[in-house]
């Protein structure tokens, strides 16, 4: 059996106001073509089909066109909701997508075994997929409550509750079938891309899952949420395919791919990363104020046709009227022009902010203004930070 695994489309993504949807659509057309030429028996999409819970019409058209292309190729699929998706919105079209062979698991079920989907393949081989959509801490508490968990269980750590769902999904695996797990989550040891949106991921271990919690019966674990392609577990084999294009300048230079898994019942899976060619390359260029024209002229002469972020180094307090126009006159493909001014707090070691957590920065601010940080204020800040992270997810 050959299964194509992809994730993190983020259709509708705007980068500095520039719509990346046409590039994402190109990538999805490419992926649908690969599914056909690589003779995929099924396609798994591990969440974040859209960049927002209320995607544009163009974003929806790009994603639904992808599913129609799979339908035309006779390739079924399973999709889960990610943290950027509206679970309710995906749930509302699950019936329609079912008509084109795409099974959607957008929200947890009161019966976790109902989240294990069997996929009918052309070869007749059985594929069973335990599909776990993204669960925020608040959503997970609600789900555990639906399943009869007591108050103490609701207050247990995120990974313990995730472990409950993973174990239940593992119960749905069957001998004689190919058994796979899907999840949109952060695994211990996962290396995020340099994404400028990394803060939206799980910044502490409170929201990660251990590889030891993965059901041993899973022959492959199809992960989404981290944009950098990687393998995070060998037993069972668990992989992130990454995002389908370089979504922001933090991902500049990353090679994007889909994963092709070859597997048969009762035997270890083999995974191959297939590179994607779609999407414009991103690059960040640092220039000194006194050589803006020369340095950007070199970039232009190199033939780079991707999208640029230009960071101009200048002394603090320097007035730079017309800087953006100077940059755009040379490199009209620059989406962002930023000033990197040398600040006092970077020159004095004890005032440097680099590497400090939000909590440490807040504590330093409070000490400068009011003295010692009270315990109740510290606790309130930690709660607000946690809620802000979850809201961003």
Tokens 């959607």 belong to which residue? 104
- What pLDDT band is residue 136 in, cutting at 50, 70 and 90? confident
Q: Over 60: is that where the pLDDT of 116 sits?
A: yes
Residue 119 CA to residue 76 CA, distance in Å, equals 7
Q: What is the pLDDT of residues 39-91, one digit of tens each?
A: 999 999 999 999 999 999 999 999 999 999 999 999 999 999 999 999 999 99
Please report the pLDDT score of residue 203 as a whole number. Answer: 43
Q: What is the pLDDT of residues 204-235, one digit of tens each?
A: 444 788 999 999 999 999 999 999 999 999 99
Residue 263 CA to residue 153 CA, distance in Å, equals 37
- What pLDDT band is residue 151 in, cutting at 50, 70 and 90? very low
Q: Over 70: is that where the pLDDT of 244 sits?
A: yes
111 vs 136, higher pLDDT: 111
- What pLDDT band is residue 347 in, cutting at 50, 70 and 90? very low
Q: What is the pLDDT of residues 14-53, one digit of tens each?
A: 999 999 999 999 999 999 999 999 999 999 999 999 999 9
Residue 186 CA to residue 351 CA, distance in Å, equals 33
159 vs 156, higher pLDDT: 159
Please report the pLDDT score of residue 364 as a whole number. Answer: 72
Residue 232 CA to residue 238 CA, distance in Å, equals 6
Residue 10 CA to residue 52 CA, distance in Å, equals 8
Q: Over 70: is that where the pLDDT of 240 sits?
A: yes
SS (H, E, C) the chain: CEEEEECCCCECCEECCEECHHHHHHHHHHHHHHHHHCCCCEEEECCCCECCCCCCHHHHHHHHHHHHHHHHCCCCEEEECCCCCCHHHHHHCHHHHHHCCEEEECCCCCCHHHHEEEEECCCCCEEEEEEECCCCHHHHHHHHHHCCCCHHHHCCCHHHHHHHHHHHHHCCCCCCCEEEEEEECEECCCCCCCCCCHHHCCCCHHHEECHHHCCCCCCEEEEECCCCCEEEEECCEEEECCCCCCCCHHHCCCCCEEEEEECCCCCCCEEEEEECCCCCCEEEEEEEHHHHHHHHHHHHHCCCCCEEEEEEEEECCCCCCCHHHHHHHHCCCEEEEEEEEECHHHHCHHHCCCCCCHHHHHHHHHHHHCCCCCHHHHHHHHHHHHHHHHHHC
pTM, two decimal places: 0.82
Mean local confidence (pLDDT), 246-264: 96
Task: Give me the residues paired with residue 308 across strands.
Answer: 283, 334
Please report the pLDDT score of residue 314 as a whole number. Answer: 86
């Amino acid at each position: 059996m050959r299964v194509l695994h992809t994730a993190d489309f983020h259709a509708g993504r705007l980068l500095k106001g520039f719509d990346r949807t046409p590039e994402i659509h190109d990538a999805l057309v490419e992926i649908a073509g690969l599914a056909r030429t690589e003779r995929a028996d099924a396609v798994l999409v591990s969440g974040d089909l859209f960049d927002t819970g209320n995607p544009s019409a163009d974003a929806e058209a790009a994603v639904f066109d992808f599913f129609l292309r799979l339908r035309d190729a006779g390739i079924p699929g399973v999709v889960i909701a990610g943290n950027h998706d509206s679970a309710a919105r995906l749930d509302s079209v699950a019936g329609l997508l079912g008509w084109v062979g795409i099974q959607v698991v957008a929200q947890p079920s009161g019966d976790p075994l109902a989240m294990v989907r069997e996929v009918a393949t052309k070869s007749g081989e059985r594929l069973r997929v335990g599909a776990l959509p993204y669960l925020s801490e608040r959503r997970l508490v609600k789900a555990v409550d639906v399943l009869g968990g007591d108050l103490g269980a609701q207050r247990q750590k995120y990974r313990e509750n995730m472990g409950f769902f993973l174990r239940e999904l593992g119960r749905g695996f069957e001998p004689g079938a190919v058994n796979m797990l899907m999840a949109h989550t952060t695994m211990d040891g996962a290396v995020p891309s340099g994404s400028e949106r990394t803060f939206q991921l799980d910044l502490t271990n409170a929201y990660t899952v251990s590889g030891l919690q993965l059901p041993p019966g899973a022959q492959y674990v199809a992960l989404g949420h981290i944009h950098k392609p990687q393998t995070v577990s060998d037993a069972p084999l668990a992989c992130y395919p990454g995002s389908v294009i370089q979504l922001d300048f933090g991902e500049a230079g990353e090679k994007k791919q889909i994963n092709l898994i070859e597997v048969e019942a009762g035997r270890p899976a083999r995974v191959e990363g297939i590179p994607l060619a779609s999407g414009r390359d991103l690059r960040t260029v640092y220039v000194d104020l006194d050589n803006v024209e020369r340095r950007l002229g070199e970039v232009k002469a190199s033939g780079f046709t991707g999208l640029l972020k230009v960071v101009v180094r200048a002394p603090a307090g320097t007035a730079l009227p017309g800087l953006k126009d100077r940059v755009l006159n040379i490199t009209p493909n620059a989406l962002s022009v930023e000033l990197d001014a040398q600040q006092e707090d970077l020159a004095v070691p004890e005032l440097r902010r680099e590497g400090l957590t939000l909590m440490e920065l807040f504590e330093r601010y409070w000490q400068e203004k009011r003295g010692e940080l009270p315990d109740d204020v510290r606790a309130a800040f930690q709660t607000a930070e946690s809620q802000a992270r979850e809201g961003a997810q």
